[in-house]
Chain A
Amino acid sequence: MVKITDKEAICIVVLFLLGGSIVIGTGIEVKNDAWIAGILGIVFFVPFALIYARIQAIYQGRDLFQIANLLFGKVVGTVIIAVYTWYSFHLGALVLRNFGEFANITTLNDTPLIVILLSFSIITIAAARSGIEVIGRISTYALPLVIFVLVFMEVLSLKQMKFNYIKPIFVNGFQRIAEAGFTVFSFPFAESVVFLGIFYSLKKRDSAYKVYLTGVFISGIILITLTFVNTFILGPVVQDFYFPSYSSFSRIRLGNFLQRMEGTISVSFAVTCFIKSSVCLLVACKGISAIFNLSDYRFITIQAGLIMTYLAYIIYDNTVEMTDWALNIYPYYAIPFQIIIPLFIWIWAEIKNRRKDSNDKGR
């Protein structure tokens, strides 16, 4: 069976959580309080990270699809598999669209969106077809690059930062900040529920705890730092930008020789979105193959990847709709996938596990 190391898994989680969220920003609806929303998002997510890790620890070596069948039987299990297959499929399409829209608006203005999406999906399909171990190895090389680019750009933009933009703190009121914190919880942190579909490949029983918590901690630091930078550079108008990080870094001016550096940040956007959409496609394909009991998920990766690309193309009419969906609709849409069903699975898994333990002791 395919195995990945904890280090590879952490790198995949970090890149996955950064994909999409560093492109369109997190918590920007509360402007200068977005960093508090980021911290709240992490705080809200930690209990769920423990729940996801616990599910994986109870059923080590099995993926979500096998767990659903084991816990709930064929019929309910298949419904849960179908639900998660749809979720990862849809999530992959949303990420593809985020990056496609970004590339279309900032760089490839005259290129039809479908061409950008198809070009991007070719590497996504190739990665998903190669499997989780290849995605893991790519991630270990890609994460240092992504972090280096982000830190480098943040250092270069120090001169443009106005630190007083952070004030007044808590001006948006706790309720609005908590709502924004919930948005950060659902996009990106709780999206890591899809990892239940691939973390069967972790080597040790307790690896899932380490991977989830370390991954969330590292990506949380990166995201909150980026939120600070966006607030310090763009100030109260941060909400008016479709791609705040890109707009922040476009303001870098060091003399007359170092400017227009925003293209560099696109590398990080591309890498993170690529890893995220590959993971989503992989989980979706595993889900489809679990429903139809196929011998290998690789047979259907190309067609599933193409359908995901077309879904990404038809899902929104424009960028405004995309941002509105990500910030206002998605947090509610994701509640069943990220909160309700995992809670249900966890409670049922604990009950079954305890029954099994007491039966074993009784013998």
Chain B
Amino acid sequence: MFVIVFIGYALLGIYEFVPLYKEKMWKEFYVNLGLALISFTVAFLISINVKIPSPARQFEAIIYSLTGK
């Protein structure tokens, strides 16, 4: 499964980053690179069946503590 993730992101990298690099749009390049790193990390973790904690639980805990329900 993670092989598909690697191939998919390699192709996406060529499609997205090469034009930005050629155009020298460095701000767009680095912001996109940051997002791509987050996206790739999560995709890789999902592909190797790592359970990622959901942010919904944290919000749930805060709301329960505020409303007292």
Contacts and interface: CB of A to CB of B under 8 A. Distances in A.
Contacts of A315: 54-56
A314 B54 contact: yes
A332 B66 contact: yes
Which of A296, A302, A316: most chain B Cβ within 10 A? A302
Given A292-B31, A294-B31, A329-B63, A302 B12 contact: yes
A325 B56 contact: yes
B34 to A, nearest CB: 9
Contacts of A307: 35, 38-39, 42
Task: List 10 A-B pairs, minimum CB-CB distance, nearest first.
Answer: A303-B35, A310-B42, A299-B28, A306-B39, A314-B52, A332-B63, A292-B31, A307-B39, A303-B36, A315-B54
Interface string A290-323: 0011111001101110110011011111000100
B35 to A, nearest CB: 4
Given A288-B31, A292-B27, A294-B31, A313 B46 contact: yes
Contacts of B12: 302
A295 B29 CA distance: 11
Interface of B: 12, 16, 20, 25, 27-28, 31-32, 35-36, 38-39, 42-43, 46, 52-56, 59-60, 63, 66-67, 69
Contact of A332 (B39, B53, B67): B67
B59 A333 contact: yes
A302 B16 contact: yes
Interface of A: 90, 114, 288, 292-296, 299-300, 302-304, 306-307, 310-311, 313-317, 321, 325, 328-329, 332-333
16 contacts: A292-B27, A294-B31, A295-B25, A302-B16, A303-B32, A303-B36, A307-B35, A307-B38, A307-B39, A310-B46, A311-B55, A314-B42, A314-B53, A328-B69, A329-B59, A333-B59
B35 A329 contact: no
A114 B46 contact: yes
Contacts of A114: 46
B54 A306 contact: no
Nearest to B53: A314
A300 B39 CA distance: 12
Contacts of A321: 56
Contacts of B55: 90, 311, 315
Contacts of A304: 35
Contacts of B38: 303, 307
B43 A310 contact: yes
A316 B54 contact: yes
A294 B34 CA distance: 14
Contacts of B32: 299-300, 303
B62 to A, nearest CB: 9
Which of A296, A304, A310, A333: most chain B Cβ within 10 A? A310
A114 B66 CA distance: 33
Contacts of B67: 332
Nearest to A298: B28
A317 B38 CA distance: 21
B27 A294 contact: yes
A53 B5 CA distance: 43
Given A295-B25, A314-B52, A315-B55, A300 B60 contact: no
B27 A293 contact: yes
Contacts of B66: 332
B45 to A, nearest CB: 9
A322 to B, nearest CB: 9
Which of B36, B43, B55, B56: most chain A Cβ within 10 A? B56
Given A293-B27, A329-B56, 19 more contacts: A294-B27, A295-B25, A296-B28, A299-B25, A300-B32, A303-B39, A306-B39, A307-B39, A310-B39, A310-B43, A311-B55, A314-B53, A314-B54, A315-B55, A315-B56, A316-B56, A321-B56, A329-B63, A332-B63
Nearest to A86: B55
